Amino acid sequence: MKKLFISVMLLVSIGLLAACGSDSASSGDAKAEKKQVTFGATSGPYSDMVTKAIKPLLEKKGYEVKVVEFSDYIQPNLALSKDDLDANLFQHKVYMETFAKEHDIDLSEVIVVPTAPMGIYSKKFKSLDEVAEGSDLAIPNDPTNAARAFLILEDAGLIKLDPNADPLTVSEKDVKENVKNLQFKPIEAAQLPRSVDSVDLSAVPGNFALAAKMNLLDALQLENMPDQYRNRVVINTKNEEAQFAKDIKEAVESEEFEKVIDEQFKGFGKPEWMENR
């Protein structure tokens, strides 16, 4: 009986050790398993920001990060809604909310990032004082970015807008005084840098200006940008509590991220949370 008891205990012990070994192996496999994030961004400074400032920090957390570049403002959100992307970086709050409503999809922001301002550029005039009567001015053809252009023009004293109009949705119909009788020419945002060669003036969003190797400081007027017009990391709303979303936010909030911004993205306006911490 004593020998039988010892044999049974040995078998139990072996079983327990085997189970522990199995659990340890499973745990090890889980840790070894690579997490993946597919990040979309418009080509130029924001794909660079993902590649240089966000991707390395996520890789330190064990993620495998794929960066997909886009040349327009439409596909990155559609890809996000179809789960072809996990996150994207290219848009401000107003555009995100408008796009989500118009396309009946659910989008949520993770965090606001430093952003290059829109500017008024010209190869014909060296200052806004030189702008001639009836000059043509290319503006973004999407309503929210067009509103930004009209606000810059008002700040520059070239137009006066209806004081009762919503500044987030102002359009040409809200222009009550056009000092230089400017002729507005709506153009797809990605084409605005090229338009500088063919029109008198062009309102170019900062990301496309930098992608076209334009110097932000060459603008005749730069945007005084509120946070709602700064770009943000955006995800599908269903992933708000996902670990990868939390890890992206933590990466952007890190001192390492800000250091890369300071060194490689000079001229980008920082969001309020970064300025005030």
In whole angstroms, give the CA distance from residue 248 to residue 262. Answer: 19
Q: Residue 259 — pLDDT band, cuts 50, 70, 90?
A: very high
Higher pLDDT, 176 or 229: 176
The pLDDT of residue 226 is: 84
Bigger pLDDT: 12 or 169? 169
CATH number at residue 168: 3.40.190.10
Task: Specify whether 130 is located in the same domain as 167.
Answer: yes
pTM above 0.75, yes or no: no
Mean pLDDT of the chain: 89
Q: Are residues 218 and 237 in the same domain?
A: no
Q: Are residues 123 and 183 in the same domain?
A: yes
Per-residue HEC secondary structure of the chain comes to CHHHHHHHHHHHHHHHHHHHHHHHHHHHHHHHCCEEEEEEEECCHHHHHHHHHHHHHHHHCCEEEEEEEECCCCHHHHHHHCCCCCEEEEEEHHHHHHHHHHHCCCEEEEEECCECCCEEECCCCCCHHHCCCCCEEEEECCHHHHHHHHHHHHHCCCEEECCCCCCCCCCHHHEEEECCCCEEEEECHHHHHHHCCCCCEEEECHHHHHHCCCCHHHCCEECCCCHHHCEEEEEEHHHCCCHHHHHHHHHHCCHHHHHHHHHHCCCCECCHHHHHC
Instruction: Let me know whether 266 and 191 are in one domain.
Output: no
Number of domains forming the structure of the chain: 2
Read off the pLDDT of each residue in 13-37 and give the average, rounded to a whole number: 51
Asked if 221 contacts 156 with a C-beta cutoff of 8 angstroms, the reply is: yes
- pLDDT score for 3: 53
Residue 80 domain-assigned (yes or no): yes
**Residue 163 domain-assigned (yes or no):** yes
Identify which has the larger pLDDT, 21 or 254: 254
Q: Are residues 128 and 203 in the same domain?
A: yes
With a cut of 70, say whether residue 7 has pLDDT above it: no
Last residue of a domain, one of 207, 224, 241: 224
The stretch 171-175 carries a mean pLDDT of: 97
Q: Assess contact for 268 and 225: CB atoms under 8 A.
A: no
**pLDDT category, 4, cuts 50, 70, 90?**
very low
pLDDT of residue 127: 96
Please indicate, yes or no, whether residues 72 and 159 belong to a single structural domain of this protein: no
Asked if residue 99 belongs to a domain, the reply is yes
Q: Do the domain assignments include residue 259?
A: yes
Confidence of residue 29 (pLDDT cuts 50, 70, 90): very low
The residue that leads in pLDDT, 251 or 19, is: 251
Condensed to tens digits (0 to 9), the pLDDT of residues 33-86 reads: 559 999 999 888 899 999 999 999 999 999 999 999 998 889 999 999 999 999
Residue span of the structural domain in which 73 resides? 35-115+228-276
Looking at residue 259, its amino acid is: K
- Evaluate if residue 23 carries a pLDDT over 60: no
**Are residues 134 and 211 located together in one domain of the fold?**
yes
Answer yes or no: do 93 and 126 share one domain: no
- Check residue 25 and give its pLDDT: 43
User: Is residue 233 in some structural domain?
Assistant: yes
Confidence of residue 229 (pLDDT cuts 50, 70, 90): confident
State whether 153 and 196 are in the same domain: yes
pLDDT digits 0-9 by tens, 92-105: 998 999 999 999 99
Whether residues 106 and 235 share a domain: the answer is: yes
Q: What is the mean pLDDT of residues 10-35?
A: 47
